[in-house]
Amino acid sequence: MALITKKIKGTEDVLPKQSYRWQFIENIMREESRVYGFKEIRTPVFEHTELFARGVGQTTDVVQKEMYTFDTKGGESVTLRPEGTAGAARAVLEHALENEGLPIKASYFVSCYRYEKPQAGRLREFHQFGLEEYGTQSPAADAEIICVAQSVLDRLGLTGIHLELNSIGCPECRAKYNQALRDYFSQYKEQLCDTCLSRLEKNPMRLLDCKSPEDKLIAKDAPKITDFLCEECETHFKEVQKYLDSAGVKYVINPTIVRGLDYYTKTVFEFVTDCIGAQGTVCGGGRYDGLIEELGGKHLPSLGFAMGLERILMVMDAQGIEIPNPDRCALYIATMGDEAKRKAFSLLRQVRECGLIAETDVVGRGLRAQMKYADKIGAKYSLVLGDNEIAENKAKVKNMESGEQTELALDDTFAEKFSVLSLTGDEAFQI
């Protein structure tokens, strides 16, 4: 019988044999964000469309080409989130979190959705780890956010990833820069792609982010934003660098970084690698001081980053970084007869309450097949339970690697004694 459907193009399943890899990197990300004082926020997977149109920017590829937008039965236009920042900012604003004290420091794991051509490192459903910080304009906060990302990458053992840093200024100094870009790119109107032509007047900085090889070549000699920064933005940028220097974080200045979303101001940064091909940005972020105001709130300077989980895993694979295997089954109880099954159920509950993985047969296998299954799942110890063991109220626990056996009483002390045995591996331990 044929399957009625398969997964949608641009999506991937994370199977049980793979999920431990995701859990490993997520745990490290949670630990690092915790020690820096960030607490988790969870927002809906879909929002009103205007949130992303206003927050992300009407001229971005995300809004113009990539969003999954649909009308509800009630006639509302809603969109699956294409990124995590806008939803987090909406939640901060809606729930007046600034009243709980500043800065607000939030972390999240989100699935995001963008309709684009699927390729390695770029899916239509993808996953991000992100940090958001609201209520501070200090350059120290910019450096701290970057340090969290660096700490995560270091903890994961990744190498060959370099930090690229830039400032795209504030609206005042950026206005002068935008005019300089218009003047420069207007010389090449006949050579620009249609997308860049449409951006030339509305948002010329987007031309610096064009993927067309011809347009990239033209943009190579375009004016640099760092030559147009006002005094405040230039001072802020220099202070960020001083803080990073004091923390020993290495970086290079890349004046062509603009990021793909319109809400950014001042500091922008990317962590980049060349070991996974064209999609080499594994983390990107910066400051977005005007976002809360754009969404209808009072001025609340903000910043953050997002890190792609799929790309992190790709880099780890490319660099041959081994992720620790998941915990093995500590005890498999093979049973013979209904009474043994019920006794095994009781013993397993004890063992599991000690935090150990324990299993028994639930599909009706014979004894031989049960033992083969115990070996297949890599059980450390096994125990065969039948009428004799129940009558004597004791059974032998077998080390599946060495073959040595230890006799344990089948009473309320079983789990405690087995825990000691499994942790010490001392086969001389007897009850």
Taking only the tens place, the pLDDT of each residue in 143-160 is 999 999 999 999 999 999
My answer on whether 164 and 271 are in the same domain is yes
DSSP assignment letter at 263? T
Q: Residue range 264-279: average pLDDT?
A: 89
My answer on whether 267 and 343 are in the same domain is no
To the nearest 10°, the Cα dihedral for 277, 281, 283, 289? -170
The answer to whether the bond into 118 is cis (omega within 30° of 0) is no
CB 192 within 8 A of CB 208: no
190-200 pLDDT, tens digit each: 899 988 888 88
What CATH number has the domain bearing residue 404? 3.40.50.800
Give the pLDDT score at 359.
Answer: 98
169-197 pLDDT, tens digit each: 998 998 899 999 999 999 999 899 988 88
* Inside any domain, residue 194: no
pLDDT band at 38 (very low <50, low <70, confident <90, very high): very high
Lowest mean pLDDT among 183-197, 339-353, 379-393: 183-197
193-241 pLDDT, tens digit each: 988 888 888 888 888 878 788 888 999 899 999 999 999 999 999 999 9
Distance CA 294, CA 314 (A): 35
The DSSP line for 315-339 is HHHHTTPPPPPPPPPSEEEEE-SHH
Q: What is the mean pLDDT of the chain?
A: 93
Residue 154: left if φ>0, alpha if ψ -120 to 50, beta else—which one? alpha
Domain tally, the chain: 2
* Inside any domain, residue 198: no
Give the pLDDT score at 411.
Answer: 96
**Is pLDDT of 162 > 90?**
yes
My answer on whether 303 and 338 are in the same domain is no
**Is pLDDT of 59 > 80?**
no
My answer on whether 138 and 82 are in the same domain is yes
Q: pTM for this structure? A: 0.91
Q: What domain range includes position 163?
A: 16-170+230-318
**Is pLDDT of 62 > 90?**
no
My answer on whether 38 and 87 are in the same domain is yes
**Final residue of a domain: which of 264, 295, 318?**
318
**Final residue of a domain: which of 261, 285, 318?**
318
Distance CA 143, CA 246 (A): 10
Give the pLDDT score at 429.
Answer: 40
